[in-house]
Structure 1
Amino acid sequence: MRSLKNIWTLTIKELRSLFGDTVLFLMIGVVFSVTIYTVAVGINTEVRNAPIGIIDSDRTALTRQIQEALQQPYFIPPVDVKREEVDELMDKGELIFVLDFPPGFERDVLAGRKPQAQLLIDATTMTQAGVGQIYIAQIFNEQISSFLKQGDPPLIAKPVLNMVYNPNADSYWYTPVMEVSNMITLLALGLSGAAVIRERERGTIEHLLVMPVNATEIVMSKILANGMVILVASMLSMVFMVQYFLGIPINGSLVLFGIGVAVYLFSISALGIMLSTIAPTMPQFALLMLPVLVVSLLLSGSIAPRSNMPEMVQLLSEYWPTTQFIAFGQNVLFRNAGLDIVWPELLAMTGIGGLFLIFALIRFKAMLEQLG
């Protein structure tokens, strides 16, 4: 009971320190509001308003029909371009796609000769180029079949797709939720580590050395205080920013997600404290934290599917806390998974957090011995 009382007293001290830092408090608010909104409206993986040019050397009903099918919001209304202008327009970024119809295109289609039309793509716009060429190919084939009045061949079994969540496959429903998870990782690493370095730089760590508290109580209080602030801020962001302001539906239980956030904060905050005992100053801690943060997010599956990564990378990052947390969040929020499904991720995060805490305590005690 005495140890719990010491942890609670130190936690109150940490909370007062956090709330007394106006700039830091505002930064937490901006991270979970402005950043989430910016990512939601500014980043998407769909084709939107892609500029496309047409070189129509055939000028027949079929080529006009294909042009008219390239509609907004996927494409800006196609513009006629001359062949000698194509390189310059694509180099300037004014066109991403150029569709070139050869002479006699409609005649050859009607004769069954399977003519070829050329599609030029500016591949420097990777997302638009990759997805856009699929859209154009589908529109191209559909319009030719419609022109020839050749419907789809009869199917013995007709597939019926029923998308339970995000029926339009819109990345707008995905990116803000994952950005909240990314910001939790950023703040948990940064605030927990900064709490230790701030004590050392201000000289208040010596005050703790003469108090009847031990290293475990000091570390746990910093994890608890910073974790409470981030947990409350992230859940408020999910409810008010993601659900109500952005209008993104949450398919699963926010209570279960909050439990997972609390477990993850314990794990990643312990890692932040361990890193802070290695770096003696705040700039060095920032340089040490940055590669850990970037690699963790890149390999977690929140930015790119882990199935696209090499098998060795998947194996090495499988039981990293960020990877487990992203899998947990996606299962709960997108697939409405229950505790009976996501308990392995919670157990993995708890186990990894325990290991991080042990290493953090060993390093923290060594640091106190050097100072004392």
Structure 2
Amino acid sequence: MNDRSAAPRRPLTLWIRRVAVLTQKDLKQLLRDIPLLIFVVYVFTLDIYVAGVGMTGDLLNAKLTVHDADHSQSSRELSYRFMLPYFDFAGEVTRPVHGLDLLDRGKTMMVLDIPARFDETLRNGQETAHLQLQVDASNVALGYLAPSYVERIIGYFSQDYAQRVRMSPISSGDPPPVIASIDNRTRVFFNTNLNGHWFNAVGQWLTMMTVVAVLLPAAAFVREKERGTIEQLLVSPVTPFQVMLSKVIATTLLVLLGSAASMYAIMQPLIGVPFRGDALLFFALNALYVFNISGLGLLMATFVRNQAQVGMLTILISAPMTMLSGTWTAPESMPPWLAELVNWSPLHHFIECSYGIIFRGAGLDVLWPSVLALIGLGGALFGMCVWRFRRQFG
């Protein structure tokens, strides 16, 4: 009875043992490649910290120059509201042309022009008081943010001025001034303080994990082609599927270790990124995504001949994938044809999973469409990889 029940299990056990031995070999090769190992440690630790702390989407220390043609209490009060840390008040100019000259020479980023009779216009209330803001939009991101910050400051100034008018004493018999106002109340979920450092840290982790998951298996495969050990594997009792699978498993284990270090040693304690979801589900989907991208890296490796070509193709694949998958730019802001193409990127679907688990605490009941997409894309990529391997070395 025992011999008969054990007999069918021997091929499966042997198959698993061969994959385990190949995986152990690939892990040893990766750990012996010191420059590549240093790169992996850096991108999962120091690089995440620098991106989370050093990069910000806020407007900080923007140089502002003022041309005040009114020289009234209201114009001075408005000018002094542009303070650090958002604005660096760079002083006043006597003529508008001097402000344009500063913009041309890059000495200031904005010039606020306050016209004459500004205070008088506000006090009369019969016409609209106009201001002019000239912005250097050479940096498009800052050029977009700066006017919005200025509009908020001017809006608060207008509200405060209207409040002072409402509270000022009036003559007997005169009706109190009626000034319309709008009370806008906004409630922010999942990132109450709009902390951009959280988004930058997670976005950089996604980007570098993609680069590593493409680079490691491709580099390992091409290294064996350069050294001629791939031919030795072909004459051994292993299948192309086992050869590919072992490299994917080795890469997945290393990336999971790096992701754990990023989350629990960098993002949470040093940057304060919350983790509201299930850790087991998070790392399971992390492994599924690495399986996808590793298959893409191995497929790429079947077309190249040396390590230099691996590096160039890794950049060629990972750069557009990260830029056009929603990591830094929302697909809704892309052209329709490009937004449809984004759905074929594994990173796009993993972004939905990672952000959902980390920030919203989402589970499989919410993330299952993205999980199914990852499974389908991963199976297709790995199948193409095995087919290409057999065609090249069969």
- The interval holding the TM-score normalised by the smaller chain is over 0.9
CA RMSD of aligned residues (A): 1.7
- Judge conservation of contact 1:46–1:127 (CA < 8 Å) in 2: no
- Post-superposition shift, 1:115? 2.8
Residue identity matched to 1:36: I
- Post-superposition shift, 1:82? 3.4
Residue 322 (structure 2) aligns with: 297
Q: Could you tell me how far apart the structure 1 residues matched to 2:181 and 2:158 are? A: 18
The partner residue of 1:85 within 87, 94, 98 is 98
- Judge conservation of contact 2:45–2:261 (CA < 8 Å) in 1: no
Residue 216 (structure 1) aligns with: 241
Residue 102 (structure 1) aligns with: 115
Q: Greater shift after overlay, 66-75 or 145-154?
A: 145-154
Q: SS of the residue aligned with 1:58?
A: coil
Q: SS of the residue aligned with 2:302?
A: helix
Residue 4 (structure 2) aligns with: none
- Kindly provide the CA deviation profile for residues 1-25 of structure 1, in whole angstroms up to 9, marking residues without a partner as x: 2211111110000111111122211
Residue 11 (structure 1) aligns with: 23
- Post-superposition shift, 1:68? 1.9
Q: SS of the residue aligned with 1:278?
A: coil
Superposition map of 1:203-242 within 5 A: 203-242=228-267
The partner residue of 1:201 within 220, 226, 237 is 226
Residue 258 (structure 1) aligns with: 283
List 4+ stretches of structure 1 deviating above 3 A: 150-155, 158-162
Superposition map of 1:1-372 within 5 A: 1=12, 2-83=14-95, 84-111=97-124, 112-149=126-163, 153=180, 160-369=185-394
Q: Could you tell me how far apart the structure 1 residues matched to 2:225 and 2:116 are? A: 76
TM-score, with length taken from structure 2: 0.89
Q: 5+ unaligned residues in a row in structure 1: which ranges?
A: none
TM-score, with length taken from structure 1: 0.94
Q: Could you tell me how far apart the structure 1 residues matched to 2:83 and 2:337 are? A: 43
- Post-superposition shift, 1:337? 0.8
Identity across aligned pairs (percent)?
29
- Post-superposition shift, 1:217? 0.4
- Post-superposition shift, 1:78? 4.8
Residue 171 (structure 2) aligns with: none
Residue identity matched to 2:343: E
Q: Could you tell me how far apart the structure 2 residues matched to 1:93 and 1:242 are? A: 36
Residue identity matched to 1:85: H
Q: Could you tell me how far apart the structure 2 residues matched to 1:164 and 1:346 are? A: 24
1:250–1:297: structure 2 CA closer, same or farther, 3 Å change rule? same
Residue identity matched to 1:299: L
Q: Greater shift after overlay, 286-295 or 58-67?
A: 286-295
Q: SS of the residue aligned with 2:133?
A: strand
Q: Greater shift after overlay, 274-283 or 8-17?
A: 274-283
Q: Could you tell me how far apart the structure 1 residues matched to 2:359 and 2:31 are? A: 34
- Kindly provide the CA deviation profile for residues 193-217 of structure 1, in whole angstroms up to 9, marking residues without a partner as x: 1111010011111221221111010
- Post-superposition shift, 1:247? 2.4
- Post-superposition shift, 1:154? 6.0
Q: Could you tell me how far apart the structure 1 residues matched to 2:156 and 2:205 are? A: 40
Equivalent pairs, count: 367
- Post-superposition shift, 1:160? 4.3
Residue identity matched to 1:54: V
- Judge conservation of contact 1:191–1:226 (CA < 8 Å) in 2: yes
- Post-superposition shift, 1:170? 2.2
- Kindly provide the CA deviation profile for residues 226-280 of structure 1, in whole angstroms up to 9, marking residues without a partner as x: 1110111112111111001222222333332211110001111001100110122
Residue identity matched to 1:275: M
Q: Could you tell me how far apart the structure 2 residues matched to 1:132 and 1:123 are? A: 9
Q: SS of the residue aligned with 1:51?
A: strand
Q: SS of the residue aligned with 1:231?
A: helix
Residue identity matched to 1:144: S
Residue identity matched to 1:93: G
Residue identity matched to 1:142: Y
Q: SS of the residue aligned with 2:87?
A: coil
- Judge conservation of contact 2:67–2:99 (CA < 8 Å) in 1: no
- Judge conservation of contact 2:198–2:271 (CA < 8 Å) in 1: no
Residue 5 (structure 2) aligns with: none
Q: Could you tell me how far apart the structure 2 residues matched to 1:74 and 1:294 are? A: 31
Residue identity matched to 1:135: Y
